[in-house]
Amino acid sequence: MSNGLLKGKKGIIFGALNSQSIAWKVAEKAHEQGAEIVLTNAPIAMRMGEIKELGEKIGATIIPADATSIEDLENLITKSMEILGGKIDFILHSIGMSVNVRKGNHYTNENYDYTLKGLDISALSFHKVMQTAMKFDAMSEWGSIVALTYIASQRVFPDYNDMADNKSYLESVARSFGYHYGIKKHVRVNTISQSPTVTTAGSGVKGFDSFIDYADQMSPLGNASADDCANYTVTLFSDLTKYVTMQNLYHDGGYSNTGVTQKVIDKFGSAS
C-alpha cells in the first residue's frame, strides 16, 4: 500500500539480481512509495539475472557498473544524476560475494587472492560508492545510504566463511564514513542486519536451509521476510528517520537478542 513516503525522492539501487533479491523487493517498494530509481549491477550479474524485467516494471533506467571499479562508479553517479534530474536522495548497497565459498574453500584454508576479491566486492565497494558520491557532491542534504549485512559479522557462524569478515568491515565502513558524511552533508549511513533470507547469494552458504529453520525457531517473531526487509529499508530512505545514522540495525524477529527459545529447548529435549 502506498502513502507517498518517498514521493519526489530519487535513488540508486545496487544488487537486484532476480525476484528473490532483497534489492529487487526494495526497488519495488520504493517505486510504490513514489521514488524514481536507477538500477545497477555488475555486467556479469546482469547477464545472469532478470534486472531488465524489473526495470520495465518500475520504469527504471539500468546502468551496468562494477562496484569495485572507480571508473564505473563515476560513470554511474554522473549518469544517474543526469537521468534523475538532480541529486540523489538514497542509495542501497546490496552486494556480497565470497569466491572462497563458491570454490568450497574452508575458512581455515583460504585462497587469499579469493579473499581479497570477495572483500573488495562485498565491503570495500561500499566505501568506493560513498567516496565517489561525495566526490561528485551527488547526495542531497539529509540523504540516506543503506547496506545489507548479517549477524555473522558479530558472532561465529562456521560456514559463513570469510563473508563474516567482509560484513564486519562493511559495518565499520558505515560507521566511519557515516561520521564524515553526516558532518559534511547530513547524509546518514546505516546497515541492516537481516534474518537469513532465501536469495541467490544466501543459498550458496553450506547448510543454509537448515539454518533458516533454526533461526526461525530462535526468533520470537520468526524470520523477517525479504518483503518486510524492503519495507524497513524504505523507512530508512524516508524523512521519518532523519536522525538515524551510523547504526547497525537488526531486522531479524528478535534473533539477535535471544539466548534460547522454548521451541529450541523442546527440540533438543525430544532428540535426547
Question: Residue 265 burial by CB count (10 A; 0-12/13-18/19+): exposed, middle or buried?
Answer: exposed
What cell was used for 40?
545497477
- Taking the mean position of all CA atoms in its chain, how far away is CA 40? 13
CA distance 40 to 204: 22
Segment 73-76 long-range contacts (CB within 8 Å, at least 24 positions apart): 73/128, 73/129, 73/132, 74/132, 74/135, 74/136, 76/12, 76/38, 76/40
192 annotated as a binding-site residue: no
22 annotated as a binding-site residue: yes
- Dihedral of CA atoms 251, 254, 260, 263 in degrees, nearest 10, equals -100
95 annotated as a binding-site residue: yes
From residue 261, alpha-carbon distances to 45, 216, 218, 257, 267 in Å are 39, 10, 6, 11, 10
Catalytic residue among 107, 112, 114, 150: 150
21 annotated as a binding-site residue: yes
What cell was used for 101?
565459498
CA distance 147 to 90: 11
Catalytic residue among 112, 114, 160, 169: 160
Residues 210, 97, 177, 16, CA torsion sign: negative
Question: Residue 168 burial by CB count (10 A; 0-12/13-18/19+): exposed, middle or buried?
Answer: middle
Let me know if 160 is a catalytic residue: yes
CA distance 124 to 132: 12
Let me know if 243 is a catalytic residue: no
Residues forming the active site: 150, 160
Q: Which residues are annotated as a binding site for NAD(+)?
A: 15, 21-22, 95, 167
